[in-house]
Amino acid sequence: MYKFLTTCFAMFTPNAGERNQIKGLVVRLVRQNRNNKKISFAFSWDMFVNKVCSGSLRYNRYKNKQLFDKDVFKCLDAYFANRILPPRVFITACDQSEGKFAGQNTDELCRAVKEYYAKNHKGWVVAVVLTACAYNYKWADVVNVPEHMLSAKEAKFVKSMPEKFLMTTGIIHNMTKVFIAQKFGQQKLKQAINNIKGNNPIAVFSLGGRTGNDDIVFDIGVCKKIWNKALVLREKGCNVVFISGPRTPDEVCDFLYEKCLENKKMYFYNGKPLENKGKKMPEWRVYAGKYKKELTSQYEDVGNIYPGILGKKKVFVVHTFDSFASCETAACGIPTLICRDVKIKKRKRPDCYRLAEALISGGYAGDFDDFLKQNSVAIPKFKTLPSVNGLISEKVTEACLRYKNFTK
């Protein structure tokens, strides 16, 4: 019999990458502590606290602490209204697009949650920050900082506080070999994947996109460069599959959709939300292009093809280097290439450049342009990226046990 069973929760975020990071940690906590007699975790599908207030729960957008806390408490009141046992782990992911405010915003959120627990006599809670920056956190208990987020000076600061910080190569994610196999086994996905004829290698282009500011630009000019390189792969015998993401601009989706209709062995599948589904997201993250009807029909028939197609034997993935999804496939042992054609301001987003270099120099991924120079297409082989999920899960478990033993 388990001595202590707990759950985790998080504030809702419109960013799919952050939601996947949070889910990835929870899944790993459940699996990694399956035989732990001191503590175990249960997965809850409704772990996300929905906003019930106007505006975003970002500390720097509020006039003062009182107004921020009022909105956070209002959200938590609604969440806990129908819950008897409070979760013992609160997880949030750092939004790097917030720049200099990213660290403070996440730390203040951790503070507000802890103060809510104290005020409402809910006991202890471990606060976890994922994909964080080198900020002097006062309220977070476990802070994961991927090394590509750090300058040399920042790395020195993080290493000086090992009891709180965990520096990793790559980010946490929600992709596993089991998840890929389950998706690949779904009938409707299998039918779609079988439409890709022949036994040739399949190059899957996982597309990132623009951001809400000018840090990252993914326009038609960038898209045409990637398309022309994809044509080289097709001429060498590859099947080519493009999969858009939430940040991929509509005009890029439309361009690739039209081009793939005209070319054999080339396919486009949409991974961008087609509707808001009651969650307030920026308009540019929801598809509103020329082919809404066609892409909606495609999604109804296939769903999200991305994780399923990774189950094919002769498959490799080309990630645009604005996306941290390269960590997912590299950690699952799927051949991973990184395309640097996206326009990224290095001064504002050096993390994108550092991650590409860390994965390539570490032997976990390859440079797409170097791969194209080969005369023939042979599936590349790389080392498997160590599990970031497992490392963070272990540190969170240790923090929970410290609180649990201290409060006895």
pLDDT in the model for residue 395: 95
pLDDT in the model for residue 341: 95
pLDDT digits (tens, 9 = 90+) for 203-242: 999 999 998 888 999 999 999 999 999 999 999 989 999 9
Find residue 344's DSSP bridge partners.
216
Find residue 316's DSSP bridge partners.
203
pLDDT in the model for residue 1: 44
CA atoms of 212 and 247, how far apart (whole Å): 9
CA atoms of 37 and 169, how far apart (whole Å): 30
What pTM does this model have?
A: 0.79
3-class SS of residue 315: strand
**Residue 140: which of 130, 125, 158, 128 has the closest Cα?**
128
Residue stretches of the chain with pLDDT short of 50: 1-2
**Residue 29: which of 96, 112, 87 has the closest Cα?**
87
DSSP conformational letter for 182: H
CA atoms of 15 and 399, how far apart (whole Å): 27
C-alpha neighbours within 13 Å on the C-beta side of residue 243 = 22
pLDDT in the model for residue 280: 66
Contact criterion met (CB below 8 Å) for 115 and 84: no
CA atoms of 157 and 188, how far apart (whole Å): 50
3-class SS of residue 400: helix
Percent of the chain with pLDDT over 90: 62
pLDDT in the model for residue 3: 62
Domains along the sequence of the chain with CATH: 5-169+388-406 (3.40.50), 177-372 (3.40.50)
pLDDT in the model for residue 103: 92
**Residue 362: which of 346, 386, 344 has the closest Cα?**
386
Q: With b meaning 16 or more CB within 10 Å and e meaning fewer, what string describes 85-101?
A: ebbbbbbbbbbbebeeb
CA atoms of 186 and 303, how far apart (whole Å): 10
CA atoms of 350 and 189, how far apart (whole Å): 37
pLDDT digits (tens, 9 = 90+) for 167-200: 998 888 878 787 788 888 788 787 777 778 778 8
CA atoms of 333 and 364, how far apart (whole Å): 9
pLDDT digits (tens, 9 = 90+) for 220-229: 999 999 999 9
pLDDT digits (tens, 9 = 90+) for 110-145: 999 999 999 999 999 999 999 998 999 999 999 999
